[in-house]
């Protein structure tokens, strides 16, 4: 497990909410075609922001990402686990965290709706 210098806890407004990265941050595939099929596949993608993001995409009537790692030539490494009660991101610096979130916004959904 990666252990960066900075650890950020990601806050959800409601207890039944879950944070996820956008699937488009790790693949250009259209997951709407797979609605209803259950799987977990690992993908990675170099984004225009300079971040290479690697994650397992989970699918079950909705596609989401719980855990991911990312690397940027300027900002270094970053790791996130959004599946925990207190979701977090470990990163090399505050600048890495800010740059990542500027370009890769989290989405919130209610897992109970799946």
Angle made by CA atoms 56, 69, 30, in degrees to the nearest 5: 40
Q: Residue 33 in contact with residue 41, Cβ under 8 Å?
A: no
| Domain parsing of the chain, residue ranges | 6-113
Give pLDDT tens digits for 30-82.
766 666 666 778 889 999 999 999 998 887 777 788 899 999 999 999 999 98
Averaged over 12-21, what is the pLDDT? 72
List the one residue out of 65, 93, 63 whose CA is nearest residue 55. Answer: 65
Note the pTM of the prediction, 2 decimals.
Answer: 0.81
């Amino acid at each position: 497990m990666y252990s960066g210098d900075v650890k950020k806890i990601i806050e959800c407004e409601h207890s039944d909410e879950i944070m996820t990265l956008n699937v488009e941050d790790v693949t250009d595939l259209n997951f709407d075609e797979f609605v209803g099929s259950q799987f977990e596949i690992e993908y990675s993608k170099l984004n225009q922001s300079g971040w290479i993001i690697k994650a397992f995409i989970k699918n079950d009537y909705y596609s989401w990402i719980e855990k991911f790692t990312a690397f940027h030539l300027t900002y270094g490494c970053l790791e996130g686990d959004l599946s925990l009660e207190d979701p977090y991101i470990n990163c090399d610096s505050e600048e890495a965290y800010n740059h990542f979130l500027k370009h890769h916004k989290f989405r919130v959904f209610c897992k109970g709706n799946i």
